[in-house]
Amino acid sequence: MLEIGKMNRLYVYNENKKNYILRAPNYDVDVELPKSEATELVNQGDILEVFVYVDNNDKEVASLTRPVALLDEFAVVKVVESHQFGAFVDWGLSKDLLVPDTEQKERMGNNRYYIVRVCLDERTNKLYGTTKIGKYIPESQFDIAEGDKIEIIPASYEELGYRSLINRKFIGMIYHNEIFQKIEIGTPISGVVKKIRNDGLVDAALQVQGFKNIEDSQKVVLEFLRANGGKTSLHDKSSPEEIREKLGMSKKTFKNAIGMLYKERRIVIHKDGIELK
C-alpha cells in the first residue's frame, strides 16, 4: 500500500532519462524519483525508503529526503513566501509546503516561525499545513512523563514564555522566569518535562529539576572556577543577572550549589567571592 505523506519502502521498477520509476509491492502505480536526488548508484530492483507526496500535476512523486514532519506530525517551520491565498513554509523538501489562508490561525508573515501540523486533503490527496492546531491537542497520546529528557523547539515569544514544540509531537511552554540561556526561535534545545497538563499541553524546563539540578550546577561552578584560576567574584550577594550571564543558572540554583560545595569542603566562601579549596 502506498502511503501519501509517509516514508515508503518502494522498489526501482524502471527508469527514464530524468527519473527512477518506483513501485510498491502489489501496487502498480508509478512513483517518480528524480535522478538528481540520488547520490549513489541506483539499480533496478533496489529497495529505497522514500517520502511520497502528490505534486502540482497530481502525480505521486518520491523524495529521498525526509521532511521535518510527516503526515499528522507537527513541526516548527519558517515562512519563505506569503501570498493572499496562503503561505509557503520550508519543511526540508525542494517543494515548500502550502499553508492555505483558510488554515491560518493568524496571517502568517515572511521569515517568521510557526508550529504547523501536516495534513492531507482527502479530495485531492495533496498535503498541506495548518496552524489551527488546537483541535489536535486533546488527541495527544503522551509517551513522556514528568522528569523525562525532551527536545524543545521554541516557536514563538509570548507573555509567559516561549510556545514550543516538544519531541516534535506535543505543544508546550518554557517560562521566562526559568530561562537562563539564550533562546533562538526554531533552534532545538534540550530540556525536561515539568508537568503534563490536563489541557493536553506540556510545561517544560531547560534545567533538570530537583537534586539532579543541584548536582549538575555544582559541576558547572567547579568547571568555571578551574577555568578562572580557582577564583571568582561571584557570591551569594551577586545579582541574578550577573550569575545568569556567567553561569547560565538562577541565583537560587547558584546559592544551593555553592552551599553544597561548601559543606563538602570543596570551596571557600569569602565576602567578595568564592575559591577552590
pLDDT value of position 39: 80
String of DSSP letters for 221-272: HHHHHHHTTTEES--TTS-HHHHHHHHSS-HHHHHHHHHHHHHTTSEEEETT
pLDDT value of position 252: 78
Question: Do residues 197 and 173 lie in contact, with contact meaning Cβ atoms separated by under 8 Å?
Answer: no
Task: Give dist(CA 90, CA 113) in Å, integer.
Answer: 10
Domains defined for the chain, CATH in brackets = 7-63 (2.40.50.140), 74-135 (2.40.50.140), 141-205 (2.40.50.140), 211-276 (1.10.10.10)
pLDDT value of position 243: 83
pLDDT value of position 54: 94
Averaged over successive runs of 10 residues, the pLDDT of the chain (277 residues) comes to 92 91 82 89 91 92 95 95 96 95 95 96 96 86 90 94 94 87 89 91 76 66 88 85 80 82 85 86
Task: Give dist(CA 133, CA 98) in Å, integer.
Answer: 15
pLDDT value of position 248: 76
pLDDT value of position 207: 63
- The label of the residue with cell 516548527 reads 76
- The label of the residue with cell 509517551 reads 143
